[in-house]
Structure formats: C-alpha cells, structure tokens
Amino acid sequence: MVIGCSSGSDEVETGELPLNPLLYVSRFREESPDYFKARFMTTKGDFVVEVFSDWAPLGSARFFNLVKQGWYDGVRFHRVLEDFTAGWGIHDDPYVNFIWQKELLPDDPSVESNKKGRLSFARSGPNSRTTQVFVNYKDNLSLDELFAPFGEILEGMEVVENLYAGYGDGPPRGEGVYQAMAIARGGEYFEEEFPDLDKIVEAIIVEEVSFQRN
C-alpha cells in the first residue's frame, strides 16, 4: 500500500483505506481536559502520569490524544540515560512514524521546571515536537528554556527508574538507538539491534477532569 501525506492530511493514494487507525491524524484533535491521569503498563510494571493542561496546553492535548488513541501501545523506551532521562515515542510501524514526523507541534512556553519525575516532549528545534516524550530522572533545570513540562509521574517512579538502560545514548554520542534508523525501520530495527529495550504494553486514560468556567 502506498501512502502519500502532507502535514495534517489523511490522504491515501490508492482506493484502499489504511488498516492502521494511527495513520488518521485527524482522529487526534480532541481537546484535552484540564487535568487527566494516564496509566502506562510496561514490561517493568505500571506507572501513572498526571497531566495539567495549563502547564503546556498544546503538549498536554497532543499527549492526551496519543494515549487515548493507543499510539503508545507497544512503543519502546528507546533512549534511557542513567541519571538523566528516559524517552519513548518511536512507533514500530514505519508508516506511522512517516506520517507523524510531519505533525509538528508549536512550542509551549515553559511554565514549570524539568524536575525529577516530570514529562516533556522532545524536540529537535523550534516548533518541532511530534510524539517523543521523556521523563526526567533528576532535576534537569538546564532544559527549561527548550522543553516545556506538561505533567509528572504520580505513581511508579521506581518502575521508570528501572527501565533497561544498557544501550546508552545513540550516535554520535554513543552506540545506542540511531533514531533516524528507528523511525525508518521501526520494530524490525529494534528487534534486530536492541532486543532488550523495555516497552509499553498498553497506555490508557484513567481519569479526566474539566473545570467549570463562567
């Protein structure tokens, strides 16, 4: 199946519709509640994230939709750096990665700091956030200028701290996951080169709260 897509589009060049619902980016536009919790069930155990939309409205909404639509199910913790961060957000399906690399999210200003246990979206430059997020293993306040936290670990920080970190950082800093290759090849690359990575079995929204406004 050949897929052609421009940013924000669900175009398919053949008459056959894609079977993977994650390719339909228009499904991921729901407004985020003011506060929500998400449970991540992983190969190391469960952890719960609480998200505050006023910390980073755009990032919160993107994360809410990715979790709610099952985007993170099966996704690996591909960049786990001891005493720094643990990151995830590259899908096993290269088609999904291709589509979502075009869904660039404008930056939120940093309202909170990247303290231990807090989550932010990764970025490669201004307005470049897509699907990758990270948890801070310590207070990384030097990241505040570039990365806007949107939530924090409520339960299970010990699970996050126990994620497999044996591969280290990717090129050019180390010999871990080469992100461009992971995006292009997906699960095949992970299985062949980095089989010990922990992964998310399933992520679900477990609580939503919206405050009444006058």
Residues 134-188: pLDDT tens digits? 999 999 999 999 999 999 999 999 999 999 999 999 999 999 999 999 999 999 9
- Whether pLDDT at 202 is above 50: yes
Domain presence at residue 143: yes
Asked if residue 4 is part of any domain, the answer here is no
Residue 75 to residue 41: CA distance in whole angstroms: 11
Closest CA to 150 of 57, 40, 38: 57
Q: Name the domain count of the chain.
A: 1
Q: What is the reported pLDDT for 214?
A: 59
Looking at per-residue pLDDT, the higher value among 175 and 214 belongs to 175
Instruction: Specify the residue for token string 């939309």.
Output: 53
Q: For residue 135, what is the DSSP state?
A: E
d(CA 185, CA 194): 13
176 touches 90 (CB < 8 A): no
Residue 68 domain flag: yes
Whether 10 maps to a domain, the answer reads: no
With beta carbons less than 8 A apart as the criterion, state whether 101 and 23 touch.
no
With CA atoms as reference, report the closest residue to 135 among 154, 155, 119, 121.
119
What integer is the mean pLDDT of 47-68?
99
CATH of the domain at 49: 2.40.100.10
pLDDT digits (tens, 9 = 90+) for 84-141: 999 999 999 999 999 999 999 999 999 999 999 999 999 999 999 999 999 999 999 9
In contact, 87 and 164? CB cutoff 8 Å: no
At 187, which amino acid appears?
A: G
Say if CB 176 and CB 197 are below 8 A apart.
Answer: no
User: CA-CA distance, 42 to 157, in Å (whole number)?
Assistant: 12
In a domain? residue 59 = yes
15 domain residue, yes or no: no
Enclosing domain of residue 168: 37-208
Residue 212 has what pLDDT? 75
Query: Tell me: the pLDDT tens digits for 4-30?
Result: 333 444 444 445 555 789 999 999 999
**Does 193 score more than 80 pLDDT?**
yes
Confidence of residue 204 (pLDDT cuts 50, 70, 90): very high
Residue 66 lies inside a defined structural domain of this protein: yes
Average pLDDT on 51-76 reads: 99
Residue 100 domain-assigned?
Answer: yes
Question: Max alpha carbon distance in the chain (Å)?
Answer: 55
C-alpha–C-alpha distance, residues 158 and 132, integer Å: 21
